[in-house]
Amino acid sequence: MPEVLKFLIDRIETPIGELLLVVDEGGNVRALDWADFEPRMLRLLRLHYGKDGFVLEAARNPHGLREKINRYFGGDIGVIDEIPTQTAGTAFQRSVWEGLRKIPSGSTISYGELAKQIDRGKAVRAVGLANGSNPVGIVVPCHRVIGSNGSLTGYGGGLERKRWLLEHERLHVRTSAIR
């Protein structure tokens, strides 16, 4: 019988809505999504770990990660670089998600630039699809990817949240650079 993974789930109020934080027993974030998209998050968890491959148990501040998320929303945007993640997905998807974590706070790149950075320059559409199926939003900053013409393009949490996150990061990168 396959092992059933135990994941801890915390619900965190943020300035732009309730965030769902799913963490494994080792302290790795497995999913991070908005409460209004909880069905999508659960569907991705089932896809990655199997219908009966995991259980969710309510927890408050598992492994101190709620505090780090709150610090991010409070302006300490670099703290998300300290948050460990572990994702399922294909090797290609994981390479895209690793590439996302290398985009500096307060900056953006296009899908084409991201494809080149992971040595898959011709796979722009596949990079876009992998970006869109990122199970760990914010920490794996898919919101930092924009269209080649500089326009805001799709974000699983909605374009208003994407705009807010980008402005929040730009503001706090400038603020910390001034100090």
Pull the structure tokens for residue 22.
């799913």
The angle formed by the CA atoms of residues 67, 29 and 145, to the nearest 5 degrees, is: 95
Tell me, yes or no, if 1 is annotated catalytic: no
Give the C-alpha separation, 140 to 63, whole Å.
Answer: 18
CA distances from 148 to 21, 107, 108, 111, 128 (A): 31, 14, 11, 7, 12
Catalytic member of 138, 142, 145, 146:
142
Pairing of strands 17-24, 29-34: antiparallel
Catalytic residue positions, numbered: 142
